[in-house]
Amino acid sequence: MTVLSLARRSLWNRRGTAALVVCSVALSVALLLGVERLRTEARESFANTLSGVDLIVGARSGPINLLLYSVFRLGDPVNNVSWASYERIAEHPQVAWTVPLSLGDSLRGFPVLGTTQAYFTHYRYGRDQSLALARGEIFDGIFDAVLGAEVARRLGYDLGDEIVLAHGTGAVSLTQHDDKPFRVVGVLERTGTPVDNTVHISLEGMEAIHVDWRGGAPIPGLSISAERVQSMDLTPDSITAVMVGLTSRRAVFQVQRQINTDRDEALMAIMPGLTLQQLWDLMRVGENALLAVSALVMLVALTVMLTALLTGLNERRREMALLRALGARPWQIFALIIGESLLLSILGALLGVVLLQGLALGASGWLSGQLGLTVTLWPPTLHEMKILAILFAGGILVGLWPAWRAYRNALTDGMAIRM
C-alpha cells in the first residue's frame, strides 16, 4: 500500500475534521483565485473596450475622468464641447475621421448615447473588432434607436418596440421624454464592453427631445410635437466628447498639443491607452490590498490545517505505534503526515476551483450587465497555476512540523501507550 493510499484511508477515518479543513482551504482558494480572476478580467475588459482611437477630446478636466465618462459611461462631464470646436477638429488636415458623442439621458438606468453612423463604422474593440448587428439595422430616422445586447436582454425589447427615454443618468427619473418615443430598429451583437449596456440614437434624436427644454427642465408652456420637430434644424449646440482618428500615428502628439492649447475653448485631448495605464497605476494600491487580504485568508486556512494535524497527533499515537509494529519505518510515518497535508491541500484546491467556476457561471450575467465584465471559466491562467503550486508547497511545509513530531514519537514510543 502506498503512502498516499494510506494517507487517504487515514483521512477517511477522520473525515469530519478533514472535511472542515478541506472546506476552509477551498474557501480561501476560491477567494484568492476569484480576486485574481476579477483583477485580470477587469484589466482585459477595460483594455479591450476601445481600440483604433488615437485621441478622445472633451472639456478640460482630468484625463481619467474624461476617459471614464466618454468610454465607460462612468461619471459625468464637467462641461461640453461646442459644436464649433467639433467642426474645427473634424476639419483639421491631420484628422482622418471623428465620432461625436453626446451623453446625459438614460433608459431605465442604461445610458443613452447620441452619435452619428460613423460610430458604427469606426468604433473598434478587442483586437480591432468592429461592431456588428445581431438583428435589424443602424438608425436612420430621428427617432430610431439601436440597443446594446445587454439592454435588449435585460429589458426585453426587440425590433419595433417603442421606448421612452428619461432625462438624466439615474436608474429612476421623474422627467420622461414621453412626448417623443423612439422605435427600436437594431440590436447589436454582444461585445463584452460598455456598448452592450448602451442605447444608441442619432445626434439629431438627442437634440430633438431637448428642443423644448432649457437648463435641464421643460420650458413652461412650450411643447413641440415629434412631427413638428422633424422639420427643424437639429444641429446641436454642444456635445460631450469626440473620438478622433488621425491620418498618421506620428502626428498624435502634435494634434494633442494643438487641441490642449486651443485659445477659443478650454479643451483636452487624451490618448486612451496612456490614460488607461494611469488608471491602473491609480488602482494598483487597491489591487494589492485585495490580494494581501486573500493571501492572509489562505494563511489562516493553512493554520487551520496545521492545528488539525497537531491536535490529532496525540490521539493517533497508538495508530502510529501499530504501524511501527507492522513494519513501518519512521520515515514512512513522516511521509504519511506529509501525504495527509498534501492531500488536504489538493482536495481543498480542487473544491475551491470548482466553487469558483460555479460562482463565475452563476454570476456571469450579473457581472456582464452591471460591470461590463465577461468572466471566462477554464482554463486557469499561468499565474493562477502558480498560486495553486504555492498552495501545494504551503501544504507540504505545514505538514513538516506535525510530521517531525510523529517521526520522533515513532522512534521513542514503540508500543507504549501514554495514559
SS (H, E, C) the chain: CCHHHHHHHHHHHCHHHHHHHHHHHHHHHHHHHHHHHHHHHHHHHHHHCCECCCEEEEECCCHHHHHHHHHCCCCCCCCCEEHHHHHHHHCCCCEEEEEEEEEEEEECCEEEEEECCHHHHHCEECCCEECCEEEECCCCCCCEEEECHHHHHHHCCCCCCEECCEECCCCCCCCECCCCCEEEEEEECCCCCHHHHCEEEEHHHHHHCCCCEECCEECCCCCCCHHHHCCCCCCCCEECEEEEEECCHHHHHHHHHHHHCCCCCCEEEECHHHHHHHHHHHHHHHHHHHHHHHHHHHHHHHHHHHHHHHHHHHHCHHHHHHHHHCCCCHHHHHHHHHHHHHHHHHHHHHHHHHHHHHHHHHHHHHHHHHHCCCCCCCCCCHHHHHHHHHHHHHHHHHHHHHHHHHHHHHHHHCCCCCC
Q: Is the pLDDT of residue 407 over 70?
A: no
Structure confidence at residue 419 (pLDDT): 46
pLDDT band per the 50, 70, 90 thresholds, residue 151: very high
38-92 confidence digits (pLDDT tens): 777 777 777 778 888 999 999 998 999 999 999 988 888 889 999 999 999 999 9
pLDDT greater at residue 342 or residue 185: 185
Q: Is the peptide bond before 379 cis (omega within 30 degrees of 0)?
A: yes
Domain ranges of the chain: 3-46+284-413, 55-270
Residue 355 contacts residue 26 (beta carbons within 8 Å): yes
Residue 7 contacts residue 302 (beta carbons within 8 Å): no
Structure confidence at residue 316 (pLDDT): 67
pLDDT greater at residue 154 or residue 18: 154
- In the chain, the percentage of residues whose pLDDT exceeds 70 is 84
291-312 confidence digits (pLDDT tens): 788 788 888 888 888 887 777 6
Distance CA 62, CA 56 (A): 12
Q: Is the pLDDT of residue 30 over 80?
A: yes
Q: Would the pTM count as exceeding 0.85?
A: no
